[in-house]
Structure 1
C-alpha cells in the first residue's frame, strides 16, 4: 500500500469499535511527549480525551489529544510544522472550524491519533474535559455512552461523520449537566 493509499484508507475508514485497551494511555503519553519535544513551549497543556481516555470504555482505537494553545492564530501557525511531523489535515475542514483546528495521524491505512488544537481555557477546552471527566467518574454514564456508540456504529458503519453527529446530543447533554 502506498502512502497515498494508506492515507485514503484512513480517511474513509469504517466505524469499528474495539474493547478498551490498556495500552491507550501509554500511546497518548508517547505522542504527548513527542509533541512537547517537537514544539517546546508551544502547548499550555496537553490532555488525553475521547473514549480511549476512559478506562473500560469501548472505542474506535484512535487516541484523541486535546492540546491547549494561546490563540487560534498559534494553532493555525502550527499546521505546516505538524504536517511535516507526521500529521495530516483537511484545510477545508479546518476553515469551517472557528474554535479549534483538527489534525490526524495514520499508519497502515488506519487512523492512530486525532489532535485537537484549541485555545487553552476556552469553552471548547472546558467542554471536552468536562465530558471526559463525567464519563470517568460515572460508570453508569459510561455504560450508556458505550451502548449508544454500539448502536450508532451498527447504524452508520461506513459514515464516520454521521456516527459523530449522532452522538452530539448525548455529548452536549452531559457537558451542560456535568
Structure 2
C-alpha cells in the first residue's frame, strides 16, 4: 500500500515538473508584461505554481488555462494592494503637509524611515492604523503573541535608531 502512495507521489511530482517546465516561462512573461515589475512578477508566478502544487496534491487537475486565470486573479489582487498602498502614501503625505513638521515629529518620521521594513510595518499597524495584536497578526500572517514579540523588538529598534544622531546613519 505504501509503495502505491509513493508511486502516486512520484507521478504527481513528475506531472507538476512537466507543467512547470512547460508553462513557467509563459506564465512568468504574462505576469511580467502586466505588472511591469520583474520582482513582483517572480513572486506572483511563484504563488501561481505554489497554488498549482497544492491543487495537484489535493488530486485536482491543473491546466495551462487554470494557471493563467490564477495569474490574472493574483495580478488583480496585486493591483488592488498597490492602489491601497498608493492611497495610504497619499493620505500620509497629505497629513504631513497639513501638519507642520516640528523637530520631534520630523525626528520620529526620520527614525521610522531608517527602520527595517519589518519593524516599521508592525509599528505602523499598531500605532498609526490602531490595529489590535490579533488584527495586525492577520495582516502579518502570524499569531497575536508573535505580534507582541515583533512589536517589542520594533520598539527597541526604534529607540536605538531615534537616539542616533542623523549624521551617523
**TM-score between both structures, scaled by the size of structure 1:** 0.26
Larger radius of gyration between Structure 1 and Structure 2:
2
**TM-score between both structures, scaled by the size of structure 2:** 0.27
Higher helix share: 2
| Structure of higher RCO (CA pairs closer than 8 Å, 6+ residues apart) | 1
